[in-house]
Amino acid sequence: MTNSVEIKNLDLQFGAVKVLQDLNLDIGKGEFLVLLGSSGCGKSTLLNCIAGLLDVSGGQIHINGTNVTWAEPSERGIGMVFQSYALYPQMTVEGNLSFGLKNAKLPKSEIESRVKRASEILQIEPLLKRKPAALSGGQRQRVAIGRALVRDVDVFLFDEPLSNLDAKLRADLRVEIKRLHHSLQNTMIYVTHDQIEAMTLADRIAIMRGGQIMQLGSPDEIYGRPVNKYVADFIGSPSMNFLEGKIKDGAFHVGDLAIPLADYAFADGAPNNLDATIGIRPEHVVTGELVGNAAYQVDVEVSLIEPTGSDTLVDCTVAGNHFRVRMDGQSRVSVGQKLRIGINPSMASLFDLKSELRL
Amino acid sequence: MADTTSQTFTGPHGPKPTKAFSRRNIFLYGTLLVVTLYYALPLYIMIVTSLKGMPEIRLGNIFAPPLEVTFEPWVKAWSEACTGLTCDGLSTGFWNSVRITIPSVILSIIIASVNGYALANWKFKGANVFFTILIFGAFIPYQVMLYPIVIMLREIGLYGSLTGLVIVHTVFGMPILTLLFRNYFSSLPEELFKAARVDGAGFWGIYFRIMVPMSLPIFTVAMILQVTGIWNDFLFGVVYTGPDSYPMTVSLNNIVNSTQGVKEYNVNMAATIITGLVPLTIYFVSGKLFVRGIAAGAVKG
C-alpha cells in the first residue's frame, strides 16, 4: 500500500451546482501535496470532503487503504489545521490540544505525553496554560498545528493555514511546516492560493479550476511545462507574457516578427498553419551580454520600470503587445531607452489558440 | 527642511479647544433633557405618591414631594390590599409569578438554544422548512390560539394550573428565541465547529463544550427577553390560571381596578412599582454581561 489517500470519481453538488466533478487523485505516503487555485475553484471543498466535513454526492475516498467515504471526521485518521486557527476560546492551550484526545477517551498519561511531545516539537511549552486570546497570530497557528499533531495521525490537512498571518511570519511558519514534514514524514495535503507557498512546500501541486484538476505535477513541471494557458498564466510572478500569432514553416509569426521554433519540444510534432499563443516568462528573457546567445533577438523601447530591489521589471512592447522583462536589480535602464532582448523558444510554452492546450 | 518646521509651530497646535456652550451642545443636551423628563416624570409621580398618606394626596399637588414620608402604602400593597374577596395584597401573586417565570424561562431557553444550534450547525434534512414554519408561528396573533389552547390544556388536565401556563409560555417563546439562538450560533466561526468535529466531539459534546461557553451574551439576552415578557404577561395569566394561581400582573389589575371603597392612589402606585421591580432588577444586573466580549481569540484577533 503506497497510497495514503485515494480519491476516486469524486462528485459533489450543491443543488444544481456541481462543485467537484469526477475527481480522481492519488496521494502517496509521506507526500506533500498542495491544492492550488484561485478562490472558488473547489480546493477547500475537496479538502473538506477528505476531512469528512462535507458529504460527497458520488465517488469514494480511501485513507490508508480504508474506505472512509461515509466515516465521521474523527474516524478517518486525519488532523486538520484551519485558516482562522479555530482554537476553542474558552480553553487553555493545553485544553485545546487535549480536547480531541479526551473525546477519544485516551488514558490520562497518554494524553499528557502526547501534549508534551507536540508542544516540544512546536516550542509552545511556555504557552500551555494560556488562553488563545493571549497568544499572537503565529503562536495561535502553532497551537492549531499542535492540535493536529497530538492526534498522531498519518494525514494532515491544511486549509490555507498561513493566509491570516503577516508576510514575515508567513515565511517563517512556511519553513517550519516544511521542516515538520521532513521530520514527521506524514502525508500532508495543503490548500492555498499562494503560489510561493505551493512551489516551496510541495512534492506535487494540483492546480484546480472549476472543480477539476487542471494539472498535477511537481513544481518544476507546473512551472516549466504548464499543460494549458490557464496554468501558465496562474503560475509565476510576474505572470507570463502571451503573444498571439501563427505557427508557420517552423516559426512563430506575430506581427512582423518570426520566432524560430527549432528548439521547441512539441508534444506531437510541429503543426503548420495553426493559430497559437506563445508564452514567455519575464525571467526567461535575456538581456545584456547574453543576448548574443539567444535564438531570437528583438529591439524594444523601455516604457516603464519597476525596481523591486533584487530584480527590475521592465515593461516594453513586442509586436504591439505589452511585454515584461525581468532584469537584474543592478542593471541600469531608463524609460525611453532602446533595449535588445533575446528569447529562447526552448524555454517558452506554445498553446493552441482555440483549445488553449499545450502544443 | 529644518527651517520650515520652526515656522509651522506658530500656528495651531496641540488639542483643539472646544466650546462648552456651542449651538450643537445646547441642542443636543436640551433634547436629551426634555426626553429624560418626559420619561422620568411619571416614575417620579408614582414614587412620590406612593410615599404619601391619603389626606396628603387629597390636597391635589401631585408634583409636590411628600410632607410626611410613609411606607404604609407599600406594606399594604404587598400584604393587605384586597383583590376581590381575598385581602393578602400582591404577595400571593408575586410567588405565583416566580413559580411561573423561573421554569418557563429555563425551559424555553434550553429548548430554543438546542433548536437554534441544530438549525445553525447541523444542516439536517428539512431544516429550512422547519425553521420557516417556526418563524411563521411568530406572526400568528395570540388571540387566534387562545381558545384552542384552553381546550388542549383542559384535555390533558392542566387547565387552570401553573404547569399549564409554564407550557404555554415555553411554546410561545420558541419562535423568537430559536431565531435568536440560530442567528447567534450562525455568527460563530464555522471552523470552530469543524475543528470540534475533527476532534471527535458529537452533537451534545459540541453544544456543551464549545457552543454554550461562547454564548453567554446571547443567553443573557434571551433571559432578559423571557423574564420581562413572562413577568409582564397578563393575557395568558388571566386566561389559563385560576384565582389561586393568578400571576402578579393579574393581582395588580385586581387591586387597581377594584371598584369598592376609596381609590387608594398611594397603594396602587406602590403595587405598580413592586410589580415592575423584577424586570427592572434583571436589566440592571445583567446589563454588564450584555456587552462582554464574545469569541475573543477564537479567530484572527
- Residue A238 — left, alpha, or beta (φ > 0 → left; ψ -120 to 50 → alpha)? beta
d(CA B93, CA B90): 5
Residue A267: predicted pLDDT: 85
End residue of a domain, out of B7, B38, B70: B70
B127 and B212 inside one domain: yes
pLDDT tier at A113, thresholds 50, 70, 90: very high
Which of A72, A89, A147 is nearest residue B214 as measured by Cβ atoms? A89
Parallel, antiparallel or unpaired: strands A251-254 and A241-248: antiparallel
What per-residue confidence (pLDDT) applies to A189? 95
* Segments forming the whole domain that contains residue B61: 20-70
Residue B296 lies in a domain: no
pLDDT over threshold 80, residue A127: yes
Interface-testing mutation among A63, A78, A82, A156, with chain B (most B C-beta atoms within 10 A): A82
Residues B136 and B233 in one domain: yes
For residue B86, being part of any structural domain is answered with no
Q: Name the domain count of chain B.
A: 2
* B118 and B197 share one domain: yes
Q: Pick from A50, A57, A70: which is nearest to A19 by CA?
A: A57
Question: What pLDDT, on the 0 to 100 scale, is given for residue A203?
Answer: 95
Contacts of B298 in chain A (CB under 8 A): 84-89, 132
Interface of B with A in 213-242 (CB under 8 A): 213-214
Above 90 in pLDDT, residue A188? yes
Q: CA angle, A16 as apex, A14 and A20 as ends, to 5°? A: 55
Residue of B198, B205, B214 lying closest to A51 (CB–CB): B198
Please indicate if any CB of chain A lies within 8 Å of the CB of B195: yes
Mean pLDDT, residues A3-18 taken together: 89
**B30 and B95 both lie in a single domain:** no
Q: Is there a single domain that holds both residue B115 and residue B196?
A: yes
Distance in Å, alpha carbon of B296 to nearest chain A alpha carbon: 6
Mutate to test the interface with B, among A47, A84, A149 (most CBs of B within 10 A): A84
- State how far the Cα of A337 lies from the Cα of A203, in Å rounded to an integer: 42
Judgement on whether residues B32 and B154 belong to the same structural domain of the protein: no
SS3 for A193-204 is: CCHHHHHHHCCE
Q: Name the residue of chain A whose CA is nearest to B214's CA.
A: A90
With CB atoms and an 8 Å threshold, state whether A74 touches B300: no
Shared domain for B97 and B203, answered yes or no, is yes
pLDDT of residue B134: 87
Is the bond into A219 cis (omega within 30 degrees of 0)?
Answer: no
Cα end-to-end span (Å), chain A: 36
- Does residue B150 share a domain with residue B28? no
Average pLDDT over residues A157-174: 91
Query: Which of A49, A63, A85, A136 is most worth mutating to test chain B (most B CB atoms within 10 A of its CB)?
Result: A85
**CA of B51: how far to CAs of B91, B272, B279, in Å?**
19, 13, 22
Is B80 part of any domain?
Answer: no
Helix B162-187 and helix B91-121, axial crossing angle in degrees, nearest 10? 40
Distance from CA of B195 to the nearest CA of A (A): 7
pLDDT of B137 reads: 81
Q: What is the mean pLDDT of chain A?
A: 91
Q: Per the structure block, which three cell numbers stand in for A169?
A: 511570519
Whether residue B76 is contained in a domain is answered as: no
- Asked if the model's pLDDT at residue A218 lies above 90, the reply is yes
Q: Which residue of A has its CA nearest to B202?
A: A103
Contact A90 B214 (CB under 8 A): yes
**Domain CATH code at residue B252:** 1.10.3720.10
- Separation in Å, CA of B117 to nearest CA in chain A: 17
The rounded mean pLDDT for chain B is 86
pLDDT digits (tens, 9 = 90+) for A313-330: 999 999 889 999 999 888
Taking the CA of residue A240 and the nearest CA in chain B, the distance in Å comes to 34
Q: Pick from A88, A92, A103, A163 the residue to mutate for testing the B interface (most B CBs within 10 Å).
A: A88
> For residue A53, which residues of chain B lie inside 8 Å, CB to CB?
194, 197-198
pLDDT of residue B7: 57
Q: Do B210 and A53 touch (CB under 8 A)?
A: no
ipTM given for this complex: 0.87
Q: Nearest CA to CA, how far is B244 from chain A (Å)? A: 46
Answer yes or no: do B195 and A86 touch at CB < 8 A.
yes
Q: Are the Cβ atoms of A74 and B205 closer than 8 angstroms?
A: no
Residue B6 is assigned to a structural domain of this protein: no
Contacts of B296 in chain A (CB under 8 A): 89, 133
Chain-chain contact of A84 with B189 (C-beta, under 8 angstroms): yes
Task: Show the domains of chain A with their CATH numbers.
Answer: 3-233 (3.40.50.300), 241-352 (2.40.50.140)
CB–CB of B194 and A87 under 8 A? Answer: no
B198 with B143, same domain: the answer is yes
The verdict on a CB contact (< 8 Å) between A80 and B194 is yes
Report if residue B12 sits inside a domain: no
- Among partner residues B197, B200, B297, which is closest to A89 by beta-carbon distance? B297
Q: Is residue B98 part of a domain?
A: yes
Q: Which residues of chain B have pLDDT under 70?
A: 1-8, 84, 259, 287-301
Q: What is the pLDDT of residues A264-301, one digit of tens each?
A: 888 888 888 899 999 999 999 998 888 888 888 999 99
Contact (CB<8Å) A87/B297: yes
Helices assigned H by DSSP within chain A: 43-51, 93-103, 108-121, 137-149, 167-184, 195-201, 219-224, 229-234
Q: Is B10 within the bounds of a domain? A: no
Q: Give the pLDDT score at B124.
A: 84
Mutate to test the interface with A, among B128, B199, B204, B208 (most CBs of A within 10 A): B199
Quote the cell numbers at residue A196. 510561493
Query: Are B194 and A51 in contact (CB < 8 Å)?
Result: yes
Please report the pLDDT score of residue B33 as a whole number.
95
B48 & B128 share domain: no
Question: What single letter denotes the amino acid at residue A36?
Answer: L
Residues B187 and B110 in one domain: yes
Residues from chain B contacting residue A135 (CB–CB below 8 Å): 297
Same-domain status, B129 and B223: yes
Which amino acid type is present at position B300? K
Nearest to B200 among A104, A135, A140 (CB): A104
Residue range A63-74: mean pLDDT, rounded: 92
